[in-house]
Amino acid sequence: MARSSATAPDAFTGATPDNAMRDADRAEAAMVAADGTPLKRSLNRALRAQKLRALALIAPLLIFVLVTFVAPIADMLFRSVENDIISENLPRTVQALDNWNGEDLPDEEVFRALGADLVIASELRNHTRIGSRLNYEMTGISSLFRQTGRDVDDIGEIYADQFIALDEAWEEPSTWMTLMAADRWIEDREGWLRDAAEAEAAQDAAETREEARALDFDTPEPAFRISDLASEALPRTASIYSEFARVIQTEDEDSPAEEDPWNIVYQALYEDLSAGRGEGYEGEAAALIAAAREAVPQFEERSVRDFFLEEIDEDWADTQIWGTIEAFSDPYTAGYFLTAADLRLTANGIEAQPEGEQIYLMLFQRTLFMSLAIMFSCIALGYPIAFLLSNLPMRTSNLLLILVLLPFWTSLLVRTSAWKVLLQQQGVINDILVWLGVISDTARLALINNQTGTIIAMTHILLPFMILPLYSVMKTIPPHYVRAAKSLGATNWTAFWRVYFPQSVPGIGAGCILVFILSIGYYITPELVGGTTGTFISNRIAYHISTSLNWGLAAALGTILLVVVLVLYYLYDRLVGIDNVSLG
Amino acid sequence: MKLRSIMMSSAAFAVAATGAFAQDDMPESPVAGEPMADEMTIVSWGGAYQDSQLKAYVEPYLEANPDVSVTWDESSAEAVAGMRAQAEANNISWDLVDVTAADAMRLCDEGLAMEVDIDEIAAPAPDGTPASEDFGEDMLVSDCFIPQIAYSYTFGYRNDVEEWGGETPSEICDVFDLETFPGQRSLERRPHNNMEWALICDGVAQEDVYDVLETEEGQQRAFDKLDTIKDQTVWWTSGADTPQLLADGEVVFGSTYNGRLFSLIAEQDQPVEMMWDTQSYDLDGWIIPEGLEEEDLNRVKDFLWFATDTQRLADQAKYISYGPARDSSAPLVGQHAELGIEMAPHMPTNPDNASNAFVQNYLWWADYRDDLDAKFQAWLAQ
């Protein structure tokens, strides 16, 4: 008995490895293939080959979809939590802020760290990006960072002057070379200089301009290496100086051996020496360091904190700014998602946005509400049309179907612009209504640049997505069912409602899913006819992508929209059942 | 929706034209003789403005260089986002981008645009004045910016509105006067200019506008003033919107670029008038993306040397009523290429029009753009 039912599928599909596998599973004794290997293993091999072949066939499409669709979406969604810009560009500040209590003004150490980070960031021209990022969380930071970027290279100027006054050698790039550069780098650089000189000589000897150009020496200077001795004795100076050398080499394509160091390097040297470091320094410049160590206690002091507050901008005294920097110092953040829910992350935890800036929840609600309204108006208009199409003789219904499809094939922009002409206050519809005397000339209806406009235009644009699945389902409902109902005494309405309608529900389901999911992410039509009250969340996403450049927030809003659609799809599956949906 | 049009100069035509194409006594471009790419992608604004660029210097340049082809990309409105995306993907596909002064500053700050020495990029004036002096400091607002034109945001109004009873608006605050001048207005869907105009009409002196706008109370004042006309306002995003709305009679008052209003009034002959009071100046020009290949860069430099010279900028004014960025171009501005009317009276810089002009503070906007954009958009959505 069991055997006969097991072979039943074979009757339809023939002897496949799958079916043989099932047979082998059920067999009581181990079955063996003709060559003596257990049947199971030999079948497994055959099955694997078959699966690989199938995989190879779909591989081009799979790879295409992964590379062009899934990967970019995943990358975009990942931006909604990514936040490494602060920790990467302000590493010293983030570390120094660990000891901050969150209430008072941060101490001198924090300002020193910020000064060093910002000098480097502004040389790399990253400071405005940091400012823009933090500005998403607290308005005003962007301008603060821009202004600070303009003045920050004066930090440490006072020490630079004093060191140079002490010994003019401090002004010489070569002094800094002996102090900071690793011996190996100096050797490498000498070799590079020799190569460059040789190449130049060869170029001079060249006869034509083209030949000379071909001999261009374009190897860059070897990357700077800091000496271990300096890193140990003067850690801050060494760290800033290596940043200086890196920026000079990569950004300006110059050599640190020929450029005067930034003021912040002198600031760091002062910090190192005044903290008593550099004592055991025994390098070539030992005498210079020793002299400087003795002189430093008599130096005129200038606190970096005072410099920030007095010279740059008193806004740096605002602890909220520091709270924001600290709150967003992690490489990953929930900040974008919080903003998308009208909340914000502050140093004191999560708070509601100020009332004037709460818009996202309202926009999500509006998007859902309007998508539902569009969906229901599509049912109301589409159902009778589909009913008519499926019940008319073929020739007439084909003609009508073309009328449905024609706008469907017309450019979206053309259709939307046509609605502008029809709906505006001096437009066709208002003109006709005034002419008919339905409304007065002074009280023309506002049908566009508001929610009404969006709902009308989008209902029209999405209507074919409702009519087509409905039509294809209604086409398959045998007309004699309704006739039978009527012959059994049902009224027209009962026959329709009890017999016909239930059979058309799968078409309604398919149409609803299509229309609702399409409209929830619609962008271009609301943008053109929605004004300010008829726009969707997608218009906000577009705004953040192309205008405000807040891609993280755009990604968070997009992720939420995606999740909402998936949840609704799941609910629909549970309530109606996705198997009941028929697309034709 | 990106519109691309490829313009190829036909070789046969070019051969005939090269002879006729007179090279002025202009010094040779500094990159002449260097290897150059044959293709160039120029990003601009589309519409009448792009046409003026095409006719004034792109077509003449292609006639002189028949091997070169130019691809237009009408994406200037999204140029900052586009350039950031291209830089992140490490795939720079634009060679030359037309942007407003404020966007140029932003791109320069972010390191996406190349810093240039204007005297190496733009030819000296015919009398030998170096480009940096010819453009002047007012135009060279950023190290990356190569100015082309000065334009202005100003208002146009319909002159056939019956409800106004013969009154015509003459000053900026008439925009906020719904009693004397009822009807819909159109304003740009971003804070720039709107906030300034609102404050000026709320009694703030022009020179104090940005100091007031820096404070929360000042911003609230501007929003409160804008609130008085909010439900009578259509918000535009594209420069073509206001002319269309005015022509349809949808709005009776609308702000837009002065060149668009000029073409509406002078070329299309619509019942619309200009109101120059408190027009707000802005600049537009080129930037070169950072990270171009050397050959592409040479081609761009060669083109710019030609396209930003005194005669070419003056030629552009034959097609659109924007003021050329060079002082030396001003006397050469002549008549409209097709209508034959004098262009000078339609320039925003013409003394009669400029008697009460407002100068937008780009630097301030570069700082406060993010802050105010967010608040403005929230205000709009509520």
Length of chain A: 584
Contact B78 A549 (CB under 8 A): no
Q: Residues A493, A497, A503, A509: what is their CA dihedral angle, to the nearest 10 degrees?
A: 120
Quote the number of domains for chain B. 2
Residues of B in contact with A139 (CB under 8 A): 370-371, 374-375
Closest CA to A80 of A560, A567, A566: A560
What's the token pair of residue A72?
Answer: 């970019």
Residue B23 buriedness (CB in 10 A; 0-12 / 13-18 / 19+): exposed
Kindly tell me if the per-residue pLDDT of B340 is higher than 80. Answer: yes
CATH number at residue B108: 3.40.190.10
Residues B234 and B305 in one domain: no
Nearest Cβ partner of B81 from A147, A540, A546?
A546
Contact B81 A357 (CB under 8 A): no
Contact A143 B368 (CB under 8 A): yes
Partner A contacted by B371 (CB < 8 A): yes
- Give the confidence band of B18 by pLDDT, cuts at 50, 70, 90: very low
Nearest Cβ partner of A531 from B81, B235, B248?
B235
Task: Report how far residue A387's alpha carbon sits from residue A390's, in angstroms, rounded to the nearest whole number.
Answer: 5
The pLDDT, as a whole number, for residue A121 is: 92
Helix/strand number for chain A, H first, E second: 31, 2
What's phi and psi for B69, nearest 5 deg? Answer: -120, 145
The pLDDT, as a whole number, for residue A584 is: 55
Q: How many inter-chain contacts (A to B, CB under 8 Å) are there? A: 79
Tell me the nearest-neighbour CA distance from B65 into chain A, angstroms. 22
Q: Where are the alpha helices (DSSP H) in A428-583?
A: 428-436, 451-475, 479-487, 492-494, 501-520, 524-529, 537-546, 551-575
Which residues are paired to B7 by β-bridges? Answer: B70
Tell me the nearest-neighbour CA distance from A139 into chain B, angstroms. 5
Residues B97 and B172 in one domain: no
Residues of A in contact with B381 (CB under 8 A): 359, 362-363, 532, 535
CA of B106: which chain A residue's CA is closest? A128
Q: Which CATH superfamily is domain A360-580 in?
A: MetI-like (1.10.3720.10)
Residues B61 and B171 in one domain: no
The pLDDT, as a whole number, for residue A12 is: 54
Task: Report how far residue A298's alpha carbon sits from residue A535's, in angstroms, rounded to the nearest whole number.
Answer: 66
Lowest mean pLDDT among A210-219, B26-35, B149-158: A210-219
CB contact at 8 A, B258 and B154: yes
The pLDDT, as a whole number, for residue A220 is: 84
The pLDDT, as a whole number, for residue A6 is: 43
Number of Cβ atoms within 10 Å of the Cβ of A220: 10
Return the H-helix or E-strand segment holding A46: helix A39-65
Residues of A in contact with B298 (CB under 8 A): none
Domain ranges of chain A: 2-78, 87-105+114-154+316-355, 157-298, 360-580
* pLDDT tens by residue, B356-377: 889 888 878 877 877 787 788 8
Nearest Cβ partner of B367 from A142, A359, A545?
A142
Nearest Cβ partner of B374 from A139, A147, A546?
A139
Residue B208 to residues B196, B368, B376, Cα–Cα distance (Å): 10, 16, 20
Residues B294 and B320 in one domain: yes
Closest CA to B146 of B265, B335, B288: B288
Residues B102 and B172 in one domain: no
Closest CA to B87 of B301, B287, B292, B300: B292
Residues B242 and B341 in one domain: no
- Which amino acid is located at A12 in the chain? F
DSSP-derived secondary structure letter, B34: S
Q: Which is more confidently placed, B347 or A355? A: B347
Residues B205 and B300 in one domain: no
What's the token pair of residue A267?
Answer: 């600031």
CA of B368: which chain A residue's CA is closest? A143
Residues B292 and B275 in one domain: no
Contact A139 B109 (CB under 8 A): no
Range list of β-strands (E), B141-296? 146-158, 185-188, 233-236, 253-257, 272-287
Q: Which long-range contacts (CB under 8 A, 24 or more apart) does B83-88 make?
A: B83/B107, B83/B112, B83/B113, B83/B289, B84/A549, B84/B110, B84/B112, B86/B289, B87/B112, B87/B289, B87/B290, B87/B291
Contact A532 B80 (CB under 8 A): no
Partner A contacted by B109 (CB < 8 A): yes
The pLDDT, as a whole number, for residue A13 is: 58
- Which amino acid is located at A196 in the chain? A
Strand-strand pairing, B146-158 and B323-324: antiparallel
The pLDDT, as a whole number, for residue A5 is: 44
Return the H-helix or E-strand segment holding B15: helix B11-20
Query: Among all chains, which residue has been given the structure tokens 């060494």?
Result: A238
Nearest Cβ partner of B378 from A142, A357, A527?
A357
What's the token pair of residue A114?
Answer: 């910020």
Interface pTM, i.e. ipTM: 0.82
Tell me the nearest-neighbour CA distance from B250 into chain A, angstroms. 6
Sign for the CA dihedral angle at A361, A366, A372, A378 comes to negative
Partner A contacted by B110 (CB < 8 A): yes
CA of A133: which chain B residue's CA is closest? B370
Contact B248 A424 (CB under 8 A): yes
Which residues are paired to B358 by β-bridges? Answer: B280
- Give the confidence band of B242 by pLDDT, cuts at 50, 70, 90: very high
CB contact at 8 A, B19 and B49: no
Residues B58 and B10 in one domain: yes
Task: Report how far residue A378's alpha carbon sits from residue A397's, in angstroms, rounded to the nearest whole number.
Answer: 20
Closest CA to A482 of A463, A505, A501: A501
Please tell me whether residue B100 adopts helix, strand or coil conformation: strand
What's the token pair of residue A17?
Answer: 């490895």
Residues B230 and B276 in one domain: yes
- Which amino acid is located at A536 in the chain? F
What's the token pair of residue B317?
Answer: 């004014």
Contact A532 B250 (CB under 8 A): no
Max mean pLDDT range (A486-495, B25-34, B350-359):
A486-495
Domain of residue B206 covers 151-282+351-381
Tell me the nearest-neighbour CA distance from A103 into chain B, angstroms. 24
Contact A413 B1 (CB under 8 A): yes
Q: Report helix, strand and coil shares of chain B as percent, to nearest 5.
A: 45, 20, 35
Residues of A in contact with B31 (CB under 8 A): none
Phi and psi based region of residue A7 (left: phi greater than 0; alpha: psi -120 to 50; beta: remaining): alpha
Residues B255 and B196 in one domain: yes
What's phi and psi for B9, nearest 5 deg? Answer: -85, 130
Task: Report how far residue A461's alpha carbon sits from residue A96's, in angstroms, rounded to the nearest whole number.
Answer: 57
Partner B contacted by A359 (CB < 8 A): yes
* Cβ-based neighbours of B255, under 8 Å, separated by 6 or more: B153, B154, B155, B186, B187, B188, B193, B194, B242
Return the H-helix or E-strand segment holding B4: strand B4-8
* pLDDT tens by residue, B155-211: 999 999 988 988 999 999 999 999 999 999 999 998 999 999 999 999 999 999 999
Query: Among all chains, which residue has been given the structure tokens 């659109």?
Result: B320
Task: Report how far residue B160's alpha carbon sits from residue B252's, in angstroms, rounded to the nearest whole number.
Answer: 9
Return the residue in B109, B110, B142 with the most chain A beta carbons within 10 A, the one to mutate for interface testing: B109
Strand-strand pairing, B69-73 and B146-158: unpaired
Report the half-sphere exposure of A405 (CA within 13 A, side-chain side).
Answer: 10
Q: Look up the pTM and report it.
A: 0.83
Contact B80 A362 (CB under 8 A): no
Tell me the nearest-neighbour CA distance from A90 into chain B, angstroms. 17
Residues of A in contact with B369 (CB under 8 A): 142
Contact B381 A359 (CB under 8 A): yes
* Cβ-based neighbours of A563, under 8 Å, separated by 6 or more: none
Partner B contacted by A425 (CB < 8 A): yes
Contact B111 A125 (CB under 8 A): yes
Which residues 47-86 of B have a C-beta within 8 angstroms of A? 78, 80-81, 84
Kindly tell me if the per-residue pLDDT of B3 is higher than 70. Answer: no
Closest CA to A532 of A445, A411, A446: A446
Partner B contacted by A486 (CB < 8 A): no
Tell me the nearest-neighbour CA distance from A122 into chain B, angstroms. 9
Number of Cβ atoms within 10 Å of the Cβ of A93: 25
Task: Report how far residue B177's alpha carbon sits from residue B163's, in angstroms, rounded to the nearest whole number.
Answer: 13
* Cβ-based neighbours of A282, under 8 Å, separated by 6 or more: A229
Number of Cβ atoms within 10 Å of the Cβ of A19: 18
CB contact at 8 A, A485 and A404: no
The pLDDT, as a whole number, for residue A379 is: 97
Contact A545 B81 (CB under 8 A): yes
Query: Among all chains, which residue has been given the structure tokens 């300006």?
Result: A252
Distance of CA A326 to the CA centre of its chain: 22
Sign for the CA dihedral angle at A522, A524, A525, A530 comes to positive
Query: Among all chains, which residue has been given the structure tokens 């192309």?
Result: A546
Residues B252 and B321 in one domain: no
Nearest Cβ partner of B370 from A363, A425, A548?
A548
Residues of A in contact with B111 (CB under 8 A): 124-126
Kindly tell me if the per-residue pLDDT of B15 is higher than 90. Answer: no
Task: Report how far residue A126's alpha carbon sits from residue B287's, in angstroms, rounded to the nearest whole number.
Answer: 19
Tell me the nearest-neighbour CA distance from A413 into chain B, angstroms. 10
CA of B83: which chain A residue's CA is closest? A546
Local confidence pLDDT in tens for the 584 residues of chain A = 344 444 454 455 566 767 777 776 777 666 777 777 888 888 888 899 999 999 999 999 999 999 999 998 899 899 999 999 999 999 999 999 998 888 889 999 999 999 999 999 998 888 888 988 888 888 778 888 988 988 898 999 999 999 999 988 898 898 898 888 888 999 999 999 998 888 888 888 877 777 777 777 778 888 999 988 888 889 999 999 999 999 999 888 888 888 899 999 999 999 999 888 887 777 778 888 888 888 889 899 889 999 999 999 998 999 989 999 999 999 999 999 999 998 988 878 888 888 777 889 999 999 999 999 999 999 999 999 999 999 999 899 999 999 988 888 889 989 998 999 999 988 999 999 999 999 998 888 989 989 999 999 999 999 999 999 999 999 999 989 999 999 999 999 999 999 999 999 989 988 998 899 999 999 999 998 988 888 899 998 998 888 878 899 999 999 999 999 999 889 888 877 777 666 65
Partner B contacted by A67 (CB < 8 A): no
What's the token pair of residue B168?
Answer: 């015509």
DSSP-derived secondary structure letter, B317: T
Task: Report how far residue A167's alpha carbon sits from residue A452's, in angstroms, rounded to the nearest whole number.
Answer: 78
Partner B contacted by A203 (CB < 8 A): no
